């Protein structure tokens, strides 16, 4: 385990602490992954810089059509947020499926992203929402698409010993837009997924104007089924077109045989099922949205 | 004057301390000056130990001692067959990952953890065997070459009637091959305890144990010390389910205390508990069942092979149990049973809830449901035609003793689940529409039965002491029941206190049950075989009668005695002697008493993913007499939990003796979300006149029918039979695709 | 060594901890509070559940130092010497505790729920204890106990 545990009062102070310890210090939020990694010798940092007491990192708010989520926000807070439930329901679903209540109370969404595992439920939804992350370094802050954070299994391009992510943002779902999250696992709670899928669709009239499908774990990083989503755009989302898109997603996904998760064959077949169900629910919810508002 | 306590759901005797978190479990004990111990485990499933170098570990500051095989006075033990080393020394073999090389004792847990990583062991890996069917072959590597030239530990055969005639009479024959896997007990409290030398100079162990007196016996042999120089104290136990019947930590704590003469505390982490301790026996079962067109069983031919793992543990008694229950709770006139238990380099297989009756229950109930389908007969109706009754001749040729309530459990659960009975015929209920277009509903029935008490001629007994404290007028102020019976959580102590209260005619609140401390309480036998209510309950009643007689005498003689003591040792063979298997025919009178259960599961299967959601479970258990009805329901709930895990979520993965599912994050017991949405427990009371108030046993019976009921319901829903557990979503999906 | 100051079960408590200490170990090894149990050791079973500022957390993977200045409730903080807390009493009355090892964590999870939501549906109860494993009961009597506690706390059950 580590030798020092620090509570910076600001992002700047956190970055200073990281720099001062020259690679021996790293950022910690809830610690639900890091504590275990440290115990198992997979995380060698000797100094922990805890960001959970920094003011200004605990927001879930909407500004100019964008939803911002701070680095301190837990999965539980995301799942319970009325704003997220109404304007980004797919993310609430995803965060609500992580671990058990205790894990959701402590583990942060940003922490989940930084942990960079391909099956992370929250991250899959963020990919479907085309989210961006704000990276804070000594040189300043910048926004970057979430996909740029993933270098491989467990590898984040942001070095937690030198920088931190301060918040996430994505466009709130509006009229005619909705998302859905599907998950397959070995039991119904407190378990990592065999497979998860998030779909976000936007309808214009009776046709799909935009679609985004994210799937995990079928690759070293969260997987965007671009071809499948593209195949839906401009079409009426009936059973046939949705199924076709789901099939394309399954074709593109390349899961491997896993002793604990199941065979590649099964998981590939399940990609079609989960994507189809996620798309279908998203389409239904998006149609309702349109109907309620009266005009498209 | 006599108050009714038996049959009431009184508050459990230890419930208040448990909800406060005050009740101490073995890891909650700390002694002044205690040291901390950690085990150095084998790194190979089968290897010769060439060299052990403890010096790098010894050099670490804070390390007090490192024990190796040389420190063990008699380096062998075993609950039945003495085939297990305490610590494996240079030149000797490790046979599974649970073998121990050394024990590091240090001033802190952290130092002990660090030090054990520094012990250097050189191994010569040996070819191993991880499938008992391979291990049975003549050219298989021998696990215990010192015991002979075969890995077959035991073979039992039963030959009843005329098997060829039986199959000739059959109109329908069902043949299947079943696989039941290893199961992890997954008790919530990991192995832990403290070993120390008490004020009387006794080597003393505080640990969770199912049979403390027998532990002392084994420790006495290991340390070459007389039993009166040993002591075991059993505080609260955080679940056992058979997993604490063998010693996994008691002897290690005793050895540490013996060697360093200071208190030593040891706690296993979950990974050690899962990887390095015993599991339920896997069974490979080939089953042929013959029946007539109108649903009468004519013959069964069964081959059962169990994977004993690296050491015998209780594989032989488990196999004996298995064979006796192989045909199920049915009248079967002709039977051929061949049962084997075989050494491998897999995890040691040991007692687990059911003790060898769980695995055949899966097989025989699946057979019955397949038979029902083949015959076009309702599964309840088919069973009613064949189930045992009082006096029916069982598989082993003995008449069943009074109290065979299995039909009643089936009747009550079927009616509760919506079956209609009409003129001896049974009609399955309408299941209603599924909750989604991609789901199908199914319902499945299964029965199970199991022995109460030890079997095959074993002299099962329980000794109890009852002490009364009398007030000035000679009335009973308090009663103390003393016996070496562990309460693993099911409420044995509560039930016995209730029995004592009623037998003494006092308020339940006046009765206490003593802490299990071998230096203070007599041997009541093991907490297993669902036996304590029956065996110890009978002993308690008679000890109470004895102490009441003594009290009367004391009052009559006006001695002014304030404390009166009575004792009684109840022996099963005094009411029902049991006999061992005839070596050629397998005929015997195997068991003292029995418990019976039926469960019905209603579920939905997602036809696209293969996932199963259990909606309702009806669980009827015939307990003879429910001493505490809510406790019986608790056993039903827990049994269903274990059975549901067996059927759907629990997969213990071991490849070539290497365990892959090492923690709770990898070995999945059901969460609350996995349990049935509704649970309807039904208490059935068909008394055994030899039981205390007619009571039999319940703890294990409630886990027998769950898996076959669920798997059969899956078939009812989507038309596939899953013959090997668990029925994971992928397995069901494959079967539905025809790609099994 | 760092001095950790927290409000533990309503009292100000000071204890010296290492930066790497985990909260469950601090309770059990430094404060003599053995009610919080360790089972999975990896945040996978909830036996170690305690409340930090009213939120249920797995204390076996929670760095102790995180509770600096915070309010913490462990099982020892419920009930009084002569009386059980409503949730504890309901567990006893519904015969919920079997081996008892999961019980402190279950009771604490139930407390977090009822403090936040006094009228939970069965589904909400299940969701809240889905991070608490039990091997003895099948959870049925535990759910009944929490439902009974909710009823009683709301004044409908006749007690409290």
Q: What is the pLDDT of residues A1-55, one digit of tens each?
A: 999 999 999 999 999 999 999 999 999 999 999 999 999 999 999 999 999 999 9
Of C2, C19, C49, the CB nearest to A102: C49
Determine the pLDDT at residue B1: 46
Length of chain C: 160
Of C2, C57, C131, the CB nearest to A190: C131
Q: Which residues of A touch B (CB under 8 A)?
A: 100, 184, 186-192, 194, 259-260, 262-263, 266, 269-270, 273
Helix, strand, or coil (residue B548): helix
Nearest CA distance, B635 vs chain C (angstrom): 7
CB spacing of A259 vs B653 below 8 angstroms: yes
Taking CA atoms, A70 is separated from A55, A110, A133, A135, in Å, by: 10, 8, 10, 12
Determine the pLDDT at residue B324: 98
Q: Name the residue of chain A whose CA is nearest to B674's CA.
A: A188
pLDDT bracket for residue C158 (50, 70, 90): very low
Q: How far is CA A213 from the centre of its chain?
A: 12
Which tokens in the block code for residue B199? 């004020």
Q: Does domain B459-574 have CATH number 3.30.365.10?
A: yes
Q: pLDDT under 70 in chain B at which residues?
A: 1-3, 739-740
Q: How far is CA C78 from the centre of its chain?
A: 9
Nearest CA distance, A39 vs chain C (angstrom): 10
* Cβ pair B23, B17 in contact under 8 A: yes
CB spacing of C129 vs B672 below 8 angstroms: yes
Q: Chain C partners of A28 at a C-beta cutoff of 8 Å?
A: 63
CB spacing of A101 vs C127 below 8 angstroms: yes
Of A3, A36, A189, the CB nearest to C61: A36
Determine the topology of domain C86-153 in CATH: DNA polymerase; domain 1 (1.10.150)
Pairing, β A193-204 against β A177-185: antiparallel
C9 close to B (CB below 8 A): no
Domain ranges of chain C: 2-77, 86-153
CB spacing of C61 vs A32 below 8 angstroms: yes
CB spacing of B18 vs C100 below 8 angstroms: yes
* Cβ pair A100, C131 in contact under 8 A: yes
Q: How far is CA B490 from the centre of its chain?
A: 12
Of A190, A192, A273, the CB nearest to B671: A190
pLDDT bracket for residue A194 (50, 70, 90): very high
Helix, strand, or coil (residue B627): coil
Determine the pLDDT at residue A221: 95
Mutate to test the interface with C, among B9, B19, B601 (most CBs of C within 10 A): B19
**C residues 50-79 closer than 8 Å to B (CB):** 74-76, 78-79
Of B660, B671, B734, the CB nearest to A259: B660
Cα separation, B699 vs B48, in Å, equals 41
Nearest CA distance, B558 vs chain C (angstrom): 39
Of C18, C20, C66, the CB nearest to A50: C66
Which tokens in the block code for residue B387? 């189930």
CATH code of domain B279-455+580-737: 3.30.365.10
Judge whether residue A296 has pLDDT over 50. Answer: no
Determine the topology of domain B31-43+47-126+186-276 in CATH: Aldehyde Oxidoreductase; domain 4 (3.30.365)
pLDDT bracket for residue C160 (50, 70, 90): very low
Closest by CA to B290, choosing from B170, B382, B379, is: B170
Determine the pLDDT at residue C81: 87
Q: What letter would DSSP give residue B727? A: -
Determine the pLDDT at residue A169: 98
Cα separation, B431 vs B383, in Å, equals 21
B122 close to A (CB below 8 A): no
Contacting chains of B (3 CB pairs or more, <8 Å) are A, C
Determine the pLDDT at residue A24: 96
Q: Chain C partners of A80 at a C-beta cutoff of 8 Å?
A: none
Tell me if domain B31-43+47-126+186-276 and domain B459-574 are identical in fold: yes
Determine the pLDDT at residue B139: 93
The label of the residue with tokens 């959970």 reads A52
Cα separation, B345 vs B343, in Å, equals 7
The residues that bridge with A69 in the sheet, in sequence order, are A60, A168
Q: What is the mean pLDDT of residues A245-257?
A: 96
pLDDT bracket for residue C155 (50, 70, 90): confident
Mutate to test the interface with A, among B611, B730, B740 (most CBs of A within 10 A): B730
B666 close to A (CB below 8 A): yes
Cα separation, C58 vs C50, in Å, equals 7
Cα separation, B680 vs B413, in Å, equals 9
Alpha helices in B80-206 (DSSP H): 109-118, 132-135, 163-168
Cα separation, A69 vs A66, in Å, equals 10
CB pairs A-B closer than 8 Å = 46
* Cβ pair A136, A166 in contact under 8 A: yes
Of B661, B668, B733, the CB nearest to A266: B733
Q: Chain A partners of C65 at a C-beta cutoff of 8 Å?
A: 5, 50
- Note the ipTM here: 0.97
Contacting chains of C (3 CB pairs or more, <8 Å) are A, B
pLDDT for B134-179, tens place per residue? 999 999 999 999 999 999 999 999 999 999 999 999 999 999 999 9
Q: Chain B partners of A100 at a C-beta cutoff of 8 Å?
A: 671
Q: Name the residue of chain A whose CA is nearest to B613's CA.
A: A188
**Phi, psi for B183 (deg, rounded to 5):** -130, 140
CB spacing of B673 vs A262 below 8 angstroms: no
Determine the pLDDT at residue B3: 66
Cα separation, A106 vs A93, in Å, equals 17
pLDDT for B681-697, tens place per residue? 999 999 999 999 999 99
Of C45, C76, C139, the CB nearest to B21: C76
Query: To 10 degrees, the CA torsion angle through B469, B474, B476, B478?
Result: -30
Q: Name the residue of chain C whose CA is nearest to B270's CA.
A: C40
Q: Chain B partners of C104 at a C-beta cutoff of 8 Å?
A: 19, 21
Mutate to test the interface with B, among C21, C33, C103, C138 (most CBs of B within 10 A): C138
pLDDT for A179-193, tens place per residue? 999 999 999 999 999
Q: Chain B partners of A186 at a C-beta cutoff of 8 Å?
A: 649, 651, 668, 728-729
pLDDT bracket for residue A119 (50, 70, 90): confident
Q: Name the residue of chain A whose CA is nearest to C128's CA.
A: A101
Cα separation, B229 vs B201, in Å, equals 7
Determine the pLDDT at residue B2: 54
Q: Chain C partners of A188 at a C-beta cutoff of 8 Å?
A: 130
Nearest CA distance, A62 vs chain C (angstrom): 25
CATH code of domain C2-77: 3.10.20.30
The label of the residue with tokens 């919506």 reads B418
Q: Name the residue of chain B whose CA is nearest to C90's CA.
A: B19
Within B150-223, strands assigned E span 152-160, 172-180, 192-197, 203-207
CB spacing of C38 vs B663 below 8 angstroms: no
Q: Domains of chain A, with CATH numbers? A: 4-171 (3.30.465.10), 177-290 (3.30.390.50)
Cα separation, B349 vs B183, in Å, equals 9
Helix, strand, or coil (residue C85): coil
Q: Name the residue of chain C whose CA is nearest to A45's CA.
A: C20
Count each helix (H run) and each strand (E run) in chain B, helices first.
17, 30
Cα separation, B341 vs B150, in Å, equals 11
Determine the pLDDT at residue B559: 73
Domain ranges of chain B: 31-43+47-126+186-276, 279-455+580-737, 459-574
**B residues 721-740 closer than 8 Å to A (CB):** 728-730, 733-734
pTM of the full predicted structure? 0.97
Measured from the Cβ of residue B247, the count of other Cβ atoms closer than 10 Å reads: 27
Contacting chains of A (3 CB pairs or more, <8 Å) are B, C
* Cβ pair A179, A88 in contact under 8 A: yes
């Amino acid at each position: 385990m580590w030798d020092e545990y620090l509570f910076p009062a600001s992002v700047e102070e956190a970055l200073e602490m990281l720099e001062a310890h020259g690679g021996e210090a790293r950022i910690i939020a809830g610690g639900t992954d890091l504590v275990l990694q440290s115990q198992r010798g997979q995380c060698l940092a000797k100094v922990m810089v805890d960001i959970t007491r920094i003011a200004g990192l605990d927001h879930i708010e909407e500004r100019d059509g964008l939803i911002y989520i701070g680095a301190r926000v837990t999965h539980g807070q995301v799942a319970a947020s009325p704003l997220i439930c109404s304007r980004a329901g797919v993310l609430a679903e995803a965060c609500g499926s992580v671990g058990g209540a205790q894990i959701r109370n402590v583990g942060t969404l940003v922490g989940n992203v930084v942990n960079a595992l391909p099956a992370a439920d929250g991250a899959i939804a963020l990919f479907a929402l085309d989210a961006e992350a704000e990276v804070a370094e000594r040189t300043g802050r910048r926004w970057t698409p979430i996909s740029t954070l993933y270098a491989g299994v467990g590898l984040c391009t942001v070095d937690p010993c030198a920088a931190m992510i301060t918040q996430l943002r994505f466009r709130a779902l509006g009229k005619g837009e909705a998302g859905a999250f599907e998950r397959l696992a070995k039991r119904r709670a407190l378990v990592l997924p065999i497979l998860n899928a998030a779909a976000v669709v936007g309808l214009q009239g009776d046709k799909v104007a935009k679609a985004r499908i994210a799937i995990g774990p079928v690759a070293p990083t969260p997987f965007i089924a671009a071809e499948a989503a593209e195949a839906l755009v401009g079409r009426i989302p009936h059973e046939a077109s949705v199924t076709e898109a789901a099939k394309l997603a399954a074709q593109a996904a390349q899961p491997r045989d896993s002793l604990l998760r199941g065979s590649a064959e099964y998981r590939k077949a399940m990609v079609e099922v989960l994507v189809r169900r996620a798309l279908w629910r998203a389409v239904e919810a998006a149609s309702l949205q349109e109907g309620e508002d009266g005009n498209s | 004057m006599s108050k009714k306590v038996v049959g009431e759901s009184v508050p459990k005797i230890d419930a208040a301390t448990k909800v406060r978190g005050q009740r101490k479990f073995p890891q909650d004990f700390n002694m002044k000056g205690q040291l901390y111990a950690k085990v150095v485990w084998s790194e190979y499933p089968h290897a010769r130990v060439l060299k052990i170098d403890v010096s790098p570990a010894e050099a670490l500051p804070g390390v007090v001692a490192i024990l190796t095989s040389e420190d063990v006075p008699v380096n062998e033990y075993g609950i039945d067959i003495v085939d297990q080393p305490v610590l494996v020394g240079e030149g000797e073999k490790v046979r599974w990952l649970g073998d121990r090389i050394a024990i590091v004792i240090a001033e802190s847990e952290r130092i002990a953890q660090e030090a054990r990583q520094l012990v250097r062991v050189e191994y010569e890996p040996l070819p191993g065997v991880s499938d008992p069917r391979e291990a049975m072959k003549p050219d298989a590597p021998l696990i215990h070459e010192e015991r002979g030239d075969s890995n077959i530990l035991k073979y039992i055969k039963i030959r009843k009637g005329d098997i060829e005639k039986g199959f000739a009479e059959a109109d329908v024959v069902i043949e299947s091959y079943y696989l039941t896997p290893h199961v992890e007990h997954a008790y919530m409290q990991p192995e832990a305890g403290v070993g120390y030398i008490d004020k009387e100079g006794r080597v003393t162990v505080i640990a969770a144990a199912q049979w403390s007196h027998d532990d002392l016996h084994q420790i006495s042999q290991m340390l070459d010390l007389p039993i009166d120089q040993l002591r075991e104290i059993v505080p609260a136990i955080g679940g056992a389910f058979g997993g604490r019947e063998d010693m996994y930590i008691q002897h290690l704590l005793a050895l540490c205390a013996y060697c360093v003469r200071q208190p030593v505390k040891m706690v296993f982490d979950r990974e050690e508990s899962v990887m390095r301790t015993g599991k339920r026996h896997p069974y490979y079962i080939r089953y042929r069942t013959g029946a007539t067109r109108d649903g009468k069983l004519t013959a069964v031919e069964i081959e059962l092979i169990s994977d004993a793992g690296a050491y015998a543990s209780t594989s032989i008694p488990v196999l004996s149990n298995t064979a006796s229950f192989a045909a199920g709770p049915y009248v079967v006139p002709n039977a051929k049973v061949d049962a084997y238990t075989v050494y491998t380099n897999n995890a040691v297989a040991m007692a687990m809830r059911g003790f060898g009756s769980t695995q055949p229950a899966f097989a025989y109930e699946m057979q019955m449901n397949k038979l029902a389908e083949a015959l076009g007969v309702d599964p309840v109706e088919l069973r009613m035609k064949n189930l045992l009754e009082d006096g029916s001749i069982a598989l082993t040729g003995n008449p069943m003793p009074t109290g065979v309530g299995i039909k009643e459990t089936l009747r009550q659960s079927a009616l509760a689940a919506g079956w209609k009975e009409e003129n001896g015929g049974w009609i399955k209920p309408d299941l209603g529409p599924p909750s989604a277009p991609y789901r199908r509903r199914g319902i499945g029935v299964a029965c199970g039965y199991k022995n109460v008490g030890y079997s095959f001629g074993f002299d099962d007994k329980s000794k109890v002491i009852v002490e009364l404290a009398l007030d000035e007028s000679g009335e009973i102020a308090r009663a103390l029941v003393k016996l070496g019976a562990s309460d693993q959580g099911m409420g044995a102590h509560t039930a016995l206190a209730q029995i004592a209260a009623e037998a003494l005619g006092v308020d339940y609140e006046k009765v206490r049950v003593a802490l299990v401390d071998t230096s203070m309480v007599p041997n009541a036998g093991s907490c297993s075989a669902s036996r304590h209510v029956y065996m110890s309950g009978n002993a308690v009643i008679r000890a109470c009668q004895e102490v009441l007689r003594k009290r009367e005498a004391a009052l009559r003689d006006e001695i002014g005695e304030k404390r009166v003591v009575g004792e009684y040792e109840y022996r099963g063979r005094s009411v029902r002697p049991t006999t061992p298997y005839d070596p050629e025919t397998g005929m015997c009178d195997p068991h003292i008493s029995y418990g019976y259960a039926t469960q019905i599961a209603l579920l939905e299967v997602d036809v696209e993913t293969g996932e199963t959601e259990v909606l309702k479970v009806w669980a009827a258990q015939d307990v003879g007499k429910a001493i505490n009805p809510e406790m019986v329901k608790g056993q039903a709930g827990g049994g269903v939990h274990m059975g549901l895990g067996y059927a759907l979520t629990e997969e213990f993965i071991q490849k070539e003796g290497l365990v892959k599912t090492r923690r709770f994050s990898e070995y999945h017991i059901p969460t609350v979300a996995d349990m049935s949405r509704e649970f309807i427990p039904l208490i059935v009371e068909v008394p055994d006149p030899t039981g205390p108030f007619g009571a039999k046993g319940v703890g294990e019976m409630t886990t027998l029918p769950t898996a076959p009921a669920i798997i059969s319901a899956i078939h009812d829903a989507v038309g596939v039979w899953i013959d090997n557990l668990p029925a994971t979503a992928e397995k069901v999906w494959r079967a539905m695709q025809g790609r099994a | 060594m760092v001095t950790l100051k927290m409000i533990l079960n309503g009292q100000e408590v000071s204890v010296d901890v290492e930066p790497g200490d985990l909260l469950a170990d601090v309770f059990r090894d430094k404060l003599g509070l053995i009610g919080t149990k360790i089972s999975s050791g990896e945040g996978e079973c909830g036996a170690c559940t305690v409340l930090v500022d009213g939120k249920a957390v797995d204390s076996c993977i929670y760095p102790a130092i995180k509770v600096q200045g915070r309010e913490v409730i462990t099982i020892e903080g419920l009930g009084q010497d002569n009386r059980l807390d409503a949730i504890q009493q309901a567990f006893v009355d519904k015969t919920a505790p079997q081996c008892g090892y999961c019980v402190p964590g279950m009771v604490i999870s139930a407390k977090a729920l009822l403090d936040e939501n006094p009228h939970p549906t069965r589904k909400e109860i299940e969701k809240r204890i889905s991070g608490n494993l039990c091997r003895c009961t099948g959870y049925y009597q535990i759910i009944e106990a929490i439902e009974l506690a909710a009823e009683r706390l709301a004044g409908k059950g006749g007690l409290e």
